Amino acid sequence: MTRLSRRAIRTALVGVLLAGLLATSGRAAGNRSFLAGLKHHTTLASTVPANGDQNPYAVVVSPVTRGRLVKNHVLVSNFNNAGNLQGLGTTLVEIDPATGSLRLFASVPQHLPGCPGGVGLTTAMTILAGGWVVAGSLPSRDGTTATKGAGCLLVFDADGRLADVWTDPRIDGPWGNMAAIDRGDSATLFVSNTGFGVGAPPAQGDAAPVRRATVLRVDLAIPRDARPKLQNITVVADGFGEAPDRGVFIVGPTGIALGAGGAIYVSDALGNRIVRIPDALTRTTSAGTGTEITRSGLLERPLALATAPNGNLLVTNALNGQVVEIDPEAKRQIAAQWIDVDRAQQPPGSGDLFGLAVRPQGDGFYYVEDDVNTLVLAH
């Protein structure tokens, strides 16, 4: 048996074990709150690279040391350029959480052949065990959706070199944080798309939601020593609300997390709820908007999703500075914690939060404050 095969089997076993843990720990979690144990919020680093890109969105912890990637370092994408125009950010930065040091991991040209509309890096990002980084682009030319393009999925190698660009009629504005299952020689990604039918933001007031946002399952083959290959794309959910917005560019489903039994959870921002998409790993047709597991309460326009060590979901709010903990099995909201209390916004922290990622040690989570371009650790 080759080393790669052994690694693939080991990775698959770990994946199965994790899935099993997720399935059981969620039920076992009861009402114990992960958030209640977190007392400190430590700013680790600025997320602004040398080219001045701003507005950090995606937060992903590297599972591997390979190339320029270092295991447990945090990779962050920037959605805005140095002029603070949304949908024009082109950089991924790697931060050592122990020292707060930052270095540029990858930078791509604004106008990238093969990526319709250019590059504006979103919350959609994942790092595979082989060191491949897949990141979403929802680009604009003027900082608004008036000039947005369909974007693409970008593939970087472990040294931050652009390896591939994926487009497809079913990809239009890959936006929300990715959920991924990595088997070593293959992987399955879930990513939301919020670009279909979205036009310019209105001069005043709120745009009427367009109910065309989707969640895709993207199946990859990962050949030995070669870049991942896109095998299949399946629409596993659709009909979510999406809308252009003058302040925050676009509002649509922004969070995805893996659930038990091949399900995924999706944050429906405009619906102010979390839904479950059953059999997302295997289904061949869309589940529509799935089944609701919780709505409103502590949720204030939910964004990125992550799974806490106790199996509960963590989701950041757009309209205040809170993160909310949800027991997905019991379909109950467990707790909410203020992680950004900046009173320059009302409610405090409103519009500041986006991506988050649980620390591998399981004792906290990383999140970004996109108004001040920093990475913070709650622990």
Partner 1 sequence: MSGVTRLLAAGLATAPLCLPSVARAQTDSTNLLGPIWGLRPWLGQYGVSLGLSEISELFGNATGGMHQGAAYDGLTEMSVGIDLGRAIGLPGGTINASALQIHGRSLSADNLDNFDTISGIEADRATRLWELWYDQQFADGAVDLKLGQQSLDQEYITSANLSVFANTMFGWPALPSYDLYAGGPAYPLASPGIRLRGTAGPWTALAGVYDDNPAGGRFNDDPQTADASGARFNLDTAALFIAEIDFAPGAPALGDTTTNPNTPSAPAALPSLYKLGAWFDTASFPDQRSDDQGLPLASPLSSGRSRLLRHDVSVYGVADQMIWRPDPAGPRALNLFARLMGAPGDRNLVDFSANLGLVLKAPLPGRDNDTLGFAGGLTRIGRYALDYDRDVQRLDPGSYAPLRSAESYLELTYQYQATGWLLIQPDLQYIFMPGAGIANPDEPDTRIANEFVLGVRTGIVF
Footprint of partner 1 on this chain (CB under 8 A)? 33, 35-36, 38-43, 45-46, 48-52, 55, 80, 82-86, 100, 102, 142-144, 203-205, 245-249, 296-298, 300, 318-319, 321, 324, 332-341, 343-348, 350-351, 371
Closer residue to partner 1 in complex, CB, 130/355? 355
- 316, 330 in Cβ contact below 8 A? no
- Output the smallest distance, CB 46 to partner 1, in A: 7
Q: How far is the CB of 107 from partner 1 (least distance, A)?
A: 12
> Of 188 and 194, which has the nearer Cβ to partner 1?
194
Q: Where are the strands (E) in 117-263, listed by range?
A: 121-127, 133-137, 152-156, 162-166, 179-182, 186-193, 210-221, 229-245, 249-251, 255-258
Q: Which of 109, 155, 166 is nearest to 133 (CA)?
A: 155
Nearer to partner 1, 11 or 33 (CB): 33
Residue type, position 350, single letter: S
116 vs 347, which CB is nearer to partner 1?
347
For partner 1, the closer of residues 42 and 65 by Cβ is 42
Cα–Cα distance list, 330 to 38, 61, 149, 326 (Å): 22, 28, 40, 9
Task: Please report how close the Cβ of residue 168 comes to partner 1 at its closest, in angstroms.
Answer: 28
Helix (H, G, I), strand (E, B) or coil at 4: helix
* Angle of CA points 317, 199, 212, to nearest 5°: 65
Q: State the Cα–Cα distance between residues 76 and 73, nearest whole angstrom.
A: 10
Nearest-approach distance from CB 32 to partner 1, in angstroms: 10
Whether a cis peptide bond, with omega within 30° of 0, leads into 63 is no
Residue closer to partner 1 by CB (options 172, 340) is 340
Q: State in angstroms the smallest separation of the CB of 69 from partner 1.
A: 20
Sequence-distant (6+) residues with CB within 8 A of 362 are 309
What is the distance between the alpha carbons of residues 137 and 167, in angstroms, rounded to a whole number?
A: 10
Shortest distance (Å) from residue 82 CB to partner 1: 4
Nearer to partner 1, 169 or 247 (CB): 247
Instruction: Give me the least distance between CB of 338 and partner 1, in Å please.
Output: 4
